[in-house]
Amino acid sequence: MDPRAGKSYSLSELVGHFGGELVGDGSVRVHQVAPLGSAEPGQLAFLTSQRYERQLASTRAAALIVGPEARDKSALPRIVCANPYAYFAKVSALINPRIRRDAGIDSRAAVDPGATVATSAFVGPWTVIEAGAVIGENSEVHAGCYVGRDASIGRDSVLNPGVTVYHRCVIGERAIVHSGAVIGADGFGMAMEGGKWLKIPQIGRVVVGNDVEIGASTTIDRGAMGDTVIEDGVKMDNQIQIGHNCRIGAHTAIAGCVGIAGSTLIGKHCRLGGSAMISGHLEIGDNVEISGGTLVSKSLPVAGTYTAVFPLSAHEDWLKNASLLRHLREMRDRIRELEEQLRGVQNK
């Protein structure tokens, strides 16, 4: 049996938990989830795309999760549902529950007497918790974390090793913050005088809502005067930069290496592809999807998918196309001139 696996479940039990249509033997038990191509006996696989249908014939999985369109494309016991990927996520969470640490403060942690740590919380070694900070019920602050003065961590949240939460910042309930994340560092606020930059004190906070996940080495800057706000349900990948005074709408998903400059407002239920770059002081509406690698330099108030990536091509072809791009203005002016000449000929 997979050493990572916990309790096993029958297909009938899973349908009882999450619904769906059971096709085949409901007594079949599974102890782990796995991809179609690498699943082993006792594991539950899922199909979300037609391009993987060929693997149905060779998979060693004990059972499947499929959509209605694939209901009859395998003889294996299966659960049919509208969203196989979401169903898989629920089953995986059931089989692989969060491993909770026993409550208590490690003797090697430095917790200020003025901090409030719930008796049900865990605080790991070499962690520093400053005066006025609050650690909520059932939360975990793992080794080497720093929680600044008057910061707040909500109940059932997890700070993985090496997370830094600056003073006065707020993290809501059931948050997951991965290693190396920095919440509340100063925003990049400078004023020029006499050829020198003057630092503008960053006196706002970072306020993170409930059910947010923040990836490893992600940085979220505190507001200059108001707050940087991450609303409920936002999911962030690794190595993301959020500038000061940004607001990220509820249930938006942001892939790795995205950069969002200061004072930008991102709507709810948006999707930002990897390495997308968002200029500052823009407004992105609800339900906007931005393709990976896209540079956004103007506001996008209307829902939809936006892409601004030069098509991949062989280097020699790219050089030729880039050369043409450099002359687009001249070509435009020349075309307008020719159009005027053509109109003159037609008028005669």
Cα separation of 127 and 161, whole Å? 9
In terms of Cβ atoms closer than 10 Å to its own Cβ (0-12, 13-18, 19+), residue 296 is buried
d(CA 280, CA 102): 44
Q: Provide the 8-state DSSP code for 286.
A: T
Q: Which of 322, 238, 239, 246 is nearest to 283 (CA)?
A: 246
Q: Which of 152, 156, 182, 151 is nearest to 101 (CA)?
A: 156
Is 178 within 8 Å of 216 (Cβ atoms)? Answer: yes
Candidates 244, 251, 269, 315; catalytic one: 244
CB 157, CB 136: distance < 8 Å: yes
Q: Say which residues have a Cβ less than 8 Å from residue 39's Cβ, sequence separation at least 6.
A: 45, 59, 60, 61, 62
Active-site residue, 244 included: yes
The crossing angle, in degrees rounded to 10, of helices 315-326 and 328-347 is 60
Active centre residues (catalytic)? 244
